[in-house]
Amino acid sequence: MSASGGTRAILAALGANLGIAVTKFIAAFFSGSASMLAEGVHSLADSANQVLLLVGGRRSRRAATAEHPFGYGRSRYVYAFVVAIILFSVGGVFSLYEGVEKVLHPHPLEVVWLPLLVLVISIGLESFSLRTAIKESNHTRGTQSWVQFVRRAKAPELPVVLLEDVAALVGLVLALLGVGLTWLTGNGVWDGLGTIAIGVLLIAVAVILGIEMSSLLVGEGASRADMDRITAAITAGTEVDSIIHAKTLYLGPDELLVAAKVAMAPTVSLADISERIDTIEARIRAAVPVARVIYLEPDVLDPVRRGAGARA
């Protein structure tokens, strides 16, 4: 894990969600609000998700083995994908169930001031968590928009925490509206509708997370900008005549595999080839530091083999 930044954001979110979950469940018990119960389950699910992200980060640091020669870097993607499943099943589906139940069997709320107070305090705590996630994300986001950052980030922790915090804040506002309208109108249907809206929101966020994490699990290559830097690093000197083909793959958020077949003159000696490859690898690592695993295959490219070599 880009240790400091991602871990700080996760711990801030975990602390906020644990405290919020307890107060929400207390408020739901005394008031009978379905929106508060749904929000309590939401915060509990978020807390479990943050623990999973921490566990995934720890497991990803295990040393490579004969069975997993490229290490366990993708463990972070696996655990982030599990987060999406939990958010969908525990948070979203439960909220939908509770909301529909409350709409079909509405009842007035008791001790209304308690859930309203808890929701206002929760909005403040969630805002602090989101502020921490935004601050840490800005260190790596660069000039990307927030949508681009979530879609292109190779480290899953910060995008996951960002989406969870945004969903939590929006969910709190929906719960506040549901409870507030129920209090003003005396009609418990509003509480149920607020709960349904929270469920739909959580399912939407879970689907977005699932899509992004599944793409990382299947395997993504370097960005266009990084690929351009790698290509430039390979061809910057006189070591190779051209690149026949090159492929990249993220073995984990902080480890990029680079494999390329490069054309060299047929008269180059084996010792010279070794020296040239070492020089090119050093340039690639300087240009793209996450390119930690590099395989360069020298080849002789003549006009007859050019077409076949390009398709190899």
Per-domain boundaries in the chain: 3-218, 224-311
Summarize the confidence of residues 269-298 as an average pLDDT: 94
**41-86 confidence digits (pLDDT tens):** 878 887 888 888 888 888 888 888 888 888 888 888 888 888 888 7
Strand 291-299: give its sheet, edge to edge: 242-252, 255-263, 291-299
Superfamily of domain 3-218: Cation efflux protein transmembrane domain (1.20.1510.10)
CB-count exposure of residue 173 (10 Å: 0-12, 13-18, 19+): middle
182 pLDDT tier (thresholds 50, 70, 90):
confident
289 pLDDT tier (thresholds 50, 70, 90):
very high
User: Is there a contact between 109 and 183 (Cβ–Cβ < 8 Å)?
Assistant: yes
**244-263 confidence digits (pLDDT tens):** 999 999 998 889 999 999 99
**9-39 confidence digits (pLDDT tens):** 788 778 878 888 888 888 888 888 877 888 7
Cα–Cα separations (whole angstroms), residue 5 to 9, 155, 198: 6, 11, 29
**197-225 confidence digits (pLDDT tens):** 988 988 888 888 888 888 888 889 998 99
Summarize the confidence of residues 165-189 as an average pLDDT: 87
304 pLDDT tier (thresholds 50, 70, 90):
low
Specify the pTM: 0.74
Cβ neighbors of 303 (< 8 A, separation 6 or more) are none
Note the pLDDT of residue 17: 80
Note the pLDDT of residue 191: 85
- Per the model's pLDDT, the better-predicted residue between 282 and 113 turns out to be 282
The pLDDT mean for the chain works out to 85
Note the pLDDT of residue 2: 46
Q: Please report, rounded to a whole number, the percentage of residues in the chain having pLDDT higher than 70.
A: 95
Note the pLDDT of residue 259: 96
- Spatial separation of the C-alpha atoms in residues 170 and 111, rounded to whole Å: 23
- Spatial separation of the C-alpha atoms in residues 73 and 128, rounded to whole Å: 30
3 pLDDT tier (thresholds 50, 70, 90):
very low
- Spatial separation of the C-alpha atoms in residues 52 and 78, rounded to whole Å: 10
243 pLDDT tier (thresholds 50, 70, 90):
very high
What topology does CATH give the domain 224-311?
A: Alpha-Beta Plaits (3.30.70)
The Cβ of residue 66 has, within 10 Å, a number of other Cβ atoms equal to 5
312 has a pLDDT exceeding 70: no
